[in-house]
């Protein structure tokens, strides 16, 4: 009897043809829903090239004002009607089962800690949000008056990401403005925390407890813990 070929030997240990390939971390962004055994605080939202931990999102909403009885024009939190695209054929970011029990939805700006200077990592809800043209406008360093004023009082930039809550402040998900579309929103996918997400969560915890970052910051490239 001849020896089995290496191809035959490998076939004995190969998974059955009908078995689904496991979903790797890099595949989470391509799937609308992925089941996970992780706790909510061990998950993060993908916002284009960056991520925001769920714990940071929940903390931001908890510390923000509750939805007002009467909406103040231009101010957050705003009512979110869950309709995207053309009015004649709108789409929804949140399915019916995700908004069960919600009588209304509201959007809150959420930002990660790595904001380009001089923008702050938090949003001032008592002031009106800055207009996009003012956010993009960058005074030349030689324009000393406007350049220094921008650093003293940075525009109240809400950023691209929004937490969506129900009328009771429970987070139902996150969405963001995709590049090139400042008016529309795309739903953010959830995924397990990666290394950058764990760093972000630790740094946010330190700021919440101490009121300031540690030095060097935990979670930075100089000192990592968590």
Q: For residue 198, which phi and psi values (nearest 5 degrees)?
A: -65, -40
Mean pLDDT of all residues in 14-19: 42
Contact 45, 149 (CB under 8 A): no
Which residues, other chains included, contact 124 with Cβ-Cβ below 8 Å and sequence gap of 6+?
A: 156
pTM above 0.85, yes or no: no
- Shared domain check, 170 and 72: yes
143 falls within a domain = yes
Q: How far apart are CA 171 and CA 174, in angstroms?
A: 8
Q: How far apart are CA 164 and CA 57, in angstroms?
A: 10
Q: How far apart are CA 127 and CA 129, in angstroms?
A: 6
Tally of helices (H runs) and strands (E runs) in the chain: 5, 8
Contact 158, 129 (CB under 8 A): yes
Contact 47, 189 (CB under 8 A): no
Per-residue pLDDT of 61-91, as tens digits, reads 999 999 887 888 888 999 999 999 988 999 9
Question: How many domains, in total, are found in the chain?
Answer: 2
Confidence at residue 149, expressed as pLDDT on a 0 to 100 scale: 64
Q: Which domain holds residue 200?
A: 194-226
Which residues, other chains included, contact 161 with Cβ-Cβ below 8 Å and sequence gap of 6+?
A: 45, 47, 52, 109, 110, 111, 174, 175, 176, 188
19 falls within a domain = no
Contact 52, 202 (CB under 8 A): no
Which tokens sit at 134? 């003012």
15 falls within a domain = no
- Shared domain check, 159 and 69: yes
Banded model confidence at residue 92, pLDDT cuts 50, 70, 90: very high
DSSP label at 219?
A: T
211 falls within a domain = yes
Confidence at residue 7, expressed as pLDDT on a 0 to 100 scale: 46
Confidence at residue 100, expressed as pLDDT on a 0 to 100 scale: 93
Mean pLDDT of all residues in 127-150: 73
- Shared domain check, 161 and 215: no
4 falls within a domain = no
1 falls within a domain = no
Closest to 44 (Cα-Cα) out of 110, 115, 125, 124: 110
- Shared domain check, 198 and 87: no
- Shared domain check, 44 and 124: yes
pLDDT surpasses 60 at 128: yes
Q: Please give the sequence-ordered ranges of beta strands (E in DSSP) within 48-182, or none if there are none.
A: 50-53, 78-80, 105-109, 161-166, 171-176
Report strand pairing: 161-166 vs 105-109.
antiparallel
- Shared domain check, 163 and 66: yes
Banded model confidence at residue 6, pLDDT cuts 50, 70, 90: very low
22 falls within a domain = no
Q: Please give the sequence-ordered ranges of beta strands (E in DSSP) within 63-160, or none if there are none.
A: 78-80, 105-109
């Amino acid at each position: 009897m001849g020896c089995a070929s290496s191809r035959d030997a490998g076939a004995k240990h190969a998974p059955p043809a009908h078995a689904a390939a496991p979903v790797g971390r890099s595949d989470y962004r391509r799937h609308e829903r992925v089941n996970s055994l992780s706790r909510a605080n061990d998950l993060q939202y993908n916002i284009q090239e960056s991520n925001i931990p769920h714990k940071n999102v929940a903390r931001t909403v908890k510390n923000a004002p509750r939805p007002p009885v009467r909406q103040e024009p231009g101010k957050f939190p705003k009512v979110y009607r869950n309709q995207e695209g053309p009015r004649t054929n709108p789409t929804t970011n949140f399915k019916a089962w995700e908004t069960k029990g919600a009588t209304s939805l509201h959007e809150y700006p959420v930002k990660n800690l790595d904001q380009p200077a001089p923008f702050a990592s938090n949003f001032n809800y008592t002031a009106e949000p800055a207009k996009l043209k003012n956010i993009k406008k960058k005074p030349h360093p030689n324009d000393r008056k406007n350049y220094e004023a921008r650093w003293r009082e940075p525009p109240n930039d809400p950023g691209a990401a929004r937490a969506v809550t129900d009328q009771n402040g429970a987070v139902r998900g996150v969405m963001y403005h995709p590049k090139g579309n400042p008016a529309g929103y795309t739903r953010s996918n959830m995924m397990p925390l990666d290394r950058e997400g764990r760093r972000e969560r630790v740094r946010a915890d330190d700021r919440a407890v101490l009121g300031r970052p540690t030095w060097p910051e935990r979670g930075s490239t100089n000192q990592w813990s968590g």
